């Protein structure tokens, strides 16, 4: 479901003050207003005052309001006349951050969905999202920073983004081979063996699959939740990054289950990084999973993370 944006655009007479330059955006910058005004009030104040400070969107607990056209720049990141924050980024202000509380939380939740929508519309990944602080060091978005939740907010945006993509594919009874895929990687991501995939799909050489090829998946792997859970056995105990690195079947089990939930240890790598080695990339996948699951995002696999993975499989 897409989020409707209300427009209250600045008059062209004020372009010279508020948004003098044409822009082809490359980033989205997140702010907290440090105020307790609604989105409608933030935008009408911004487009009406005589200060050059400007931003594209304000989001509160109920709506998203746009104040500047997206093909014009805004003065919102303090990185100067030609700074990439000011010249190449779309500014999103989250309202009610001064006092916080339920209204702020609802505004932040809507902003997360809205930013995911902006990314999706543009075919962008989470790497396009910045916080104001990244551009000039200002302590903004202040509430997200002071609560230590920036990584969590980003993960939540990413979850909406990838969740929207994977929801379209579900229920998966087949898989379309993409560039860089291997049969063992596909097998691991779906909790089935390479041999099973070979036999269902009549593949004689597992090293020869082609981009666009349709791989049938066994029913248990795609449609039955209880079957799916039992096909991802998870180890007990604690696994973390050690030196030398921890290796073994137990690590592989964790990696396979994470990949099944789309938290790939290394999406671009062979077998999506399912290599049985608990290195920084696997710890990062665990961290991302923990962060969207409301757990302490420490990258250490333990009983709580195990239980949460099992719940989601
Ligand atoms: Zn800011």
Quick: pLDDT tens for 153-199: 999 999 999 875 444 434 457 888 888 888 988 888 877 888 888 98
- Dump pLDDT digits (tens) for 59-94: 999 999 999 999 999 999 999 999 999 999 999 999
Distance from the alpha carbon of residue 141 to the mean position of ligand 1, in angstroms: 6
State the pLDDT at residue 188.
81
Say which residue, 267 or 256, is predicted with more confidence: 256
Q: How far is the CA of 292 from the centre of ligand 1 (A)?
A: 24
- Of 237, 238, 236, 232, the residue nearest 255 (C-alpha): 232
**Tens digits of residue pLDDT in 91-124:** 999 999 999 999 999 999 999 999 999 999 999 9
CA of 265 to the centre of ligand 1 (A): 33
Half-sphere exposure of 155 (CA within 13 A, CB side): 19
Residues, CB within 5 angstroms of ligand 1 (ion): 31, 132, 140
The pLDDT assigned to 230 comes to 56
Which pLDDT tens digit goes with each residue over 47-61? 999 999 999 999 999
How remote is the CA of residue 162 from the centroid of ligand 1, in Å? 26
pLDDT above 70 covers a percentage of the chain that reads: 93
How far, in Å, is the centroid of ligand 1 from the Cα of 133? 7
| 108 CA to centre of ligand 1 in angstroms | 14
DSSP characters over 110-168: HHHHHHHHHHHHHT--GGGEEEHHHHH----SHHHHHTT-HHHHHHHHHHHHHHHHHHH
pLDDT at residue 288, as a whole number: 87
What separation in Å is there between the alpha carbon of 139 and the centre of ligand 1?
A: 8
pTM, 2 dp: 0.55
* Ligand 1 centroid distance, CA of 270 (Å): 40
Ligand 1 centre and the CA of 30: distance in Å?
7
Please, are residues 2 and 110 in contact by the beta-carbon 8 Å criterion? no
């Amino acid at each position: 479901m897409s989020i409707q944006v209300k427009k209250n655009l600045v008059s062209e007479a004020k372009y010279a003050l508020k948004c003098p330059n044409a822009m082809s955006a490359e980033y989205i910058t997140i702010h907290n207003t440090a105020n307790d005004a609604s989105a409608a009030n933030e935008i009408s104040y911004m487009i009406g005052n005589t200060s050059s400070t400007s931003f594209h969107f304000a989001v509160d607990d109920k709506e998203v309001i746009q104040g500047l056209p997206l093909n014009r720049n805004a003065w919102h990141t303090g990185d100067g006349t030609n700074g990439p924050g000011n010249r190449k980024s779309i500014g999103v202000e989250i309202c009610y951050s001064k006092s916080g509380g339920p209204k702020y939380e609802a505004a932040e939740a809507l902003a997360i969905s809205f930013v995911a929508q902006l990314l999706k519309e543009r075919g962008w990944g989470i790497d396009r999202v910045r916080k104001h602080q990244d551009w000039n060091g200002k302590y903004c978005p202040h509430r997200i920073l002071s609560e230590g939740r920036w990584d969590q907010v980003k993960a939540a945006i990413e979850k909406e983004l990838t969740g929207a993509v994977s929801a379209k594919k579900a229920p998966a009874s087949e898989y379309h081979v993409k560039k860089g895929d291997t049969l063992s990687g596909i097998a691991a991501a779906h909790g089935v063996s390479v041999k099973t995939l070979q036999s269902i799909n009549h593949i004689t050489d597992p090293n020869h699959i082609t981009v666009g090829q349709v791989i049938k998946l066994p029913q248990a792997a795609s449609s039955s939740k209880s079957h799916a859970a039992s096909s991802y056995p998870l180890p007990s105990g604690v696994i973390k990054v050690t030196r030398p690195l921890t290796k073994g079947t137990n690590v592989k089990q964790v990696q396979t289950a994470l990949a099944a939930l789309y938290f790939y240890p290394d999406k671009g790598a062979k077998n999506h990084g399912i290599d049985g080695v608990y290195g920084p990339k696997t710890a990062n996948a665990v961290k991302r999973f923990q962060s969207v699951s409301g757990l302490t995002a420490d990258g250490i696999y333990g009983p709580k993370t195990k239980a949460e993975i099992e719940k989601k499989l």
